[in-house]
Amino acid sequence: MTDTNPAEQLNAVLVEEDPSEGLWHLVDSGWAEKHLPELPALRLEQDPIHRHKDVLTHTIAVTSQSPSRLRVRLAALFHDVGKPRTRSYEHGGVTFRHHEAVGARITRKRMPKLGYQEELTSEVAQLVFLSGRFKGYTDGWSDSAVRRYARDGGALLGDLNDLVRSDCTSRNPRRVAALHEALDELEKRIGELAREDARKAERPELDGDRVIAHLGIEPGPHVGRALKFLLELKRSEGFLGESAVLERLDAWWANERK
């Protein structure tokens, strides 16, 4: 490979259906050591007491089984780059506390050096930062925690969930199935809560003051019932315009007063 444009060289590998062979070549040929040293640095030495996965092998596996969209593939490639700097044996076993936050900072520094634009760099770094958030889901998340996960994911939520699905290289099919089922459940809850929040945020075409002025009534239960009628009208028939809504409101009010 030439050294003209490292980003294009890396992209050419990442867009392959299975980029594993190309990624290993980038490491073994010395290209990664020169342009992306964080990648070979994941080849952490194994120690017989505190056993842990070969992070480089894991990273290439996660990248290879992720969807072949560049943003997701880059996030998969960078998602564990913070581990070498955060490795600790102080808590009874090897830990990598806050490696996602450290990895996000590394991503923000490295990607521009490779030749990536600011927008893509920011998106990938955010995915790296959020990549470990799902791990606490099976401990039991409140609705507010689910909403926060979806809000933090924002426009990247689909990519984030794809990254989470890919970040399981266990050979135990039950473990893989359990993670996917949990993520399926989370996605279902996100959808249900979004629909619930949307319904709560709905407003009829007329507000209470307009109803009071048009019907010539005082504030009270009748106004609440009128607004409920108008909201159901909007849900069932869509936006009708003020004149049509007022006609329907008059008909409803005439029936209400019988």
Per-residue model confidence (pLDDT) at position 92? 67
Q: Report in angstroms the alpha-carbon separations of 89 from 43, 54, 60, 83, 132.
A: 17, 16, 25, 13, 20
Per-residue model confidence (pLDDT) at position 89? 72
Rounded Cα gap, residues 250 and 248, in angstroms: 5
What integer is the mean pLDDT of 87-113? 85
Per-residue model confidence (pLDDT) at position 256? 86
Contact assessment for residue 70 and residue 15, using Cβ atoms and an 8 Å cutoff: yes
Percentage, residues of the chain above pLDDT 90: 63
**Best-predicted range by mean pLDDT (9-13, 54-58, 98-102, 174-178):** 9-13
Considering only 31-40, 112-121, 233-242, which range has the smallest mean pLDDT?
233-242
10 Å Cβ neighbour count for 192? 12
Residue 49's pLDDT band, with cuts at 50, 70 and 90, is very low
Mean pLDDT of the chain: 89
User: SS3 for 88?
Assistant: strand
Residues in the chain: 258
Per-residue model confidence (pLDDT) at position 97? 75
Considering only 34-43, 46-55, 129-138, 176-185, which range has the smallest mean pLDDT?
46-55
Per-residue model confidence (pLDDT) at position 240? 86
Per-residue model confidence (pLDDT) at position 47? 43
Per-residue model confidence (pLDDT) at position 50? 38
Answer whether residue 48 shows pLDDT above 50: no
Per-residue model confidence (pLDDT) at position 102? 94
What integer is the mean pLDDT of 131-141? 89
b/e per residue, 87-103, with b = 16+ CB within 10 A?
A: beeeeeebbbeebbebb
What integer is the mean pLDDT of 18-34? 96
**Best-predicted range by mean pLDDT (46-50, 151-155, 175-179, 197-201):** 151-155
Per-residue model confidence (pLDDT) at position 235? 83
